[in-house]
A and B are shown apart, each in its own frame.
Chain A
Amino acid sequence: MQISGAQMVIEALIAEEVDTIFGYPGGAIMNVYDEIYKQNSFKHILTRHEQAAVHAAEGYSKASGKVGVAMITSGPGFTNAVTGLADAYMDSVPLVVISGQVPMSLIGTDAFQEIDAVGISRSCTKHNYLVTDAADLPRVLKEAFYIARTGRPGPVHVDIPKDVTAQIAKFDYSKEVDIETYKPTTKGNTRQIKKAVDAIKNAKRPLFYLGGGIINSNASEEVRKLVKNTGIPAVETFMARGTLKYDDPLLISMLGMHGSYAANMAMSETDLVIGLGARFDDRVTGKLSEFAKGAKIIHVDIDPASISKLVNADFPIVGDIKHVVKSMLDIAKTTIDKERYTPWLDTIANFNKLHPLSFKEDSEDLKPQWVIKRVGETLGDNANISTDVGQHQMWTAQFYPFSRPRQFISSGGLGTMGFGFPAAVGVKAADPKRISVNFTGDGSILMNIQELMTAVEQKLPVINIILNNNYLGMVRQWQTLFYNKRHSETDLSMQPDFVKLAEAFGGVGYRVSTKEEFDAALKDAIEKNVVAFIDVKVHRLENVMPMVPSGGSLFNMMLEYKEK
């Protein structure tokens, strides 16, 4: 089949069974958009900013487990998308981002809307390509999808000059991929797995340390079984929320900077860490030299470079979590005696009793934590929850009752304000049956507020709950605690009217400051099934607690801090 480069892009997307893409057109990518116009195999969602297109593709991917696709033009289109690429790279989100480039003859001449896109994306993608001949396009696109979804997943960027999209060549999209230099290991080494299970058998105070890799490899079912069958307690990272059901008796909650006291104490007292798809991020470990000090470490990860990068693993296992956990299950079944962990579970129950995750309702104002719990009680499993970045994000991770993997969609590694709303639009596109809720802050929502138009136009009703504290709350919290209350440039007293803003774009807005008003607004937004902003006036000075101060040890938590 002899077709144009632009047609090849369409054919490849069809062959990869892509049903939705997100994008924004421009000069260099117009040939491809012309082909998008002619087809009706997949849906194109026009976002109102390229950063949002990539975040929406991330939301789509995180909710569905499929590869997300974004399409953008050269120059400013591409540079706008960089934050999205970096975000996806840090959270190992499988994406294929296709950008237009100036024609080959103009590359390197500082042409209109030219930028060295692959030069820029090199450090924030798993791999990238500049396609210089349409004959290479089928192979490149096939490889791009394959690389994005296999091994440790990540974003792949394909940059295509305009004349290459016009060039006619043979299209032969193979079923198989063979990249001589790329062979990710999936099966863990059997001997190592046996040794690890032996270590589990002999440990007195073992602890599962569950990370986002479990969700990426769709291994939650297996992990739930392993936890249940072994009777060993577990802590989740921020990225792993929902791996275990919120009411699982063996789940201690999230660990790390804003983890629970019990989770962090368990990590400090354990004699064997069983790390599954977690990467020992500094927000999790606190002071490294004090992290799980008396423990041996089992570390299972698909990415060999993640193992022993920060903490030395006594039992390193490279492989897909799903495979490895399955093998562990088989061996563990016959050998593990649950009884021996009873004293350890008692200790943990005690930590939980001492300082449970909680908040005080001691003011006139609504507490943001109450709002999140309330949404949890109302919607529970029926909603997918995304967030922006800040205090509201941490409270959501702490207080929302997550029931399943892929229910919680947030920017972990990069911590990108402006992620939540476009991601929630992508989530809704991927999973239309569930309600898409975005918890955001009065700072974050303004970073991609133009997506109101996308959501309204596409009838992708996202309920944005703005936990409005008139502050860049998380930064204010640090200024309070570590900069002697010098609140430099974090006061957001000056605000738009969020209700009118929502209405101006064709959505619905609510302003609430009591529990009753909140319940009524949420109910109405759900019934109306439209794009909504619920602007919730919350207590201005609430802090996210408990907290491990940056660089401190996990067992040394700040439990409370009250501020007037």
Chain B
Amino acid sequence: MEAAERRVISVIVINEASVLSRITDLFSGRGYNITSLTVAPIPESRYSRLTIVTSGSVRVIEQITKQLHKLIPVLKVIEHADLVEKEMALVKFPITENLADISALCSAYNGNIVNVSEEVIITMVADEPKRVDYFLSAIKRFHPKEIVRSGAVALER
């Protein structure tokens, strides 16, 4: 077996019905891996941009990009090498935890407290996916109640 590598691929597609399922069906049908997938329309255009984080051997990654490109509504497949990559995470903590420490940690990871209610606070960080991993392991001791990650978005430098 060749070694599996993590890869970020951006796909520009025409905004039309079922285009997203074409993409995900391709991955499930051919047994490719999806670590995360984010989609949103590209402002002022008829396109959407998908950012797919995947992994596989060199041959598999090559097949993924070629097969993606074969789909009729796909305009462009960009295999990132030199890129800026960000991911967001929202975390809910009991209000009884040490808010000052949590807040300090958040700012170290480009984030802050975004909502406070009677029982919980919600924090947000936005950073490289690896650093979001670090953040999430660092906050374990504050007993997070719920964590949600956005999946990565990326732009070529």
A sample of 18 inter-chain contacts (CB < 8 A) reads A118-B18, A122-B18, A122-B21, A122-B22, A123-B25, A127-B72, A130-B18, A132-B17, A147-B72, A179-B72, A180-B14, A181-B14, A181-B72, A181-B73, A182-B72, A304-B69, A305-B70, A309-B59
Question: Which A residues between 77 and 132 are near B, CB-CB below 8 angstroms?
Answer: 118-119, 122-123, 126-127, 130, 132
Q: Is B106 an interface position by the 8 A CB rule?
A: no
- Interface of B toward A, CB cutoff 8 Å: 13-14, 17-18, 21-22, 25, 29, 59, 62-63, 66-67, 69-70, 72-75
Cα A189 to Cα B22 with chains together (Å): 30
Cα A89 to Cα B69 with chains together (Å): 17
- Are B72 and A119 in contact, CB atoms less than 8 angstroms apart? no
Please indicate the chain B residues that have their CB under 8 angstroms from the CB of A119 in the complex.
18, 21
Cα A337 to Cα B13 with chains together (Å): 49
Please indicate the chain A residues that have their CB under 8 angstroms from the CB of B13 in the complex.
181
Cα A127 to Cα B14 with chains together (Å): 14
Please indicate the chain A residues that have their CB under 8 angstroms from the CB of B18 in the complex.
118-119, 122, 130
- Are A122 and B66 in contact, CB atoms less than 8 angstroms apart? no
Q: How far is the CB of A136 from chain B (nearest CB, A)?
A: 11
Please indicate the chain B residues that have their CB under 8 angstroms from the CB of A320 in the complex.
none
Cα A303 to Cα B63 with chains together (Å): 12
Q: Report the number of A-B residue pairs with Cβ-Cβ less than 8 Å.
A: 38
Most buried by B among A122, A130, A179: A122
Please indicate the chain B residues that have their CB under 8 angstroms from the CB of A123 in the complex.
25, 29
- Interface of A toward B, CB cutoff 8 Å: 118-119, 122-123, 126-127, 130, 132, 147, 179-182, 303-305, 308-309
| Given A309-B59, A309-B63, 5 extra CB contacts under 8 A | A180-B14, A181-B13, A181-B14, A181-B75, A308-B62
Q: How far is the CB of A222 from chain B (nearest CB, A)?
A: 25
User: 8 closest A-B pairs (Cβ-Cβ)?
Assistant: A305-B66, A127-B72, A181-B75, A123-B29, A182-B72, A304-B66, A305-B67, A122-B25
Q: How far is the CB of A404 from chain B (nearest CB, A)?
A: 31
- Are A130 and B74 in contact, CB atoms less than 8 angstroms apart? no
Please indicate the chain A residues that have their CB under 8 angstroms from the CB of B62 in the complex.
308
- Are A181 and B74 in contact, CB atoms less than 8 angstroms apart? yes
Cα A122 to Cα B62 with chains together (Å): 22
Closest to B74 in A: A181
- Are A305 and B63 in contact, CB atoms less than 8 angstroms apart? yes
Within the complex, which residue of A118, A132, A303 is in contact with B70, where a contact is CB–CB below 8 Å? A303
Closest to A181 in B: B75
Cα A304 to Cα B69 with chains together (Å): 9
Please indicate the chain A residues that have their CB under 8 angstroms from the CB of B72 in the complex.
126-127, 147, 179, 181-182
If A180-B75, A182-B72 touch, whether A308 touches B22 (CB-CB below 8 Å) is no
Please indicate the chain B residues that have their CB under 8 angstroms from the CB of A181 in the complex.
13-14, 72-75
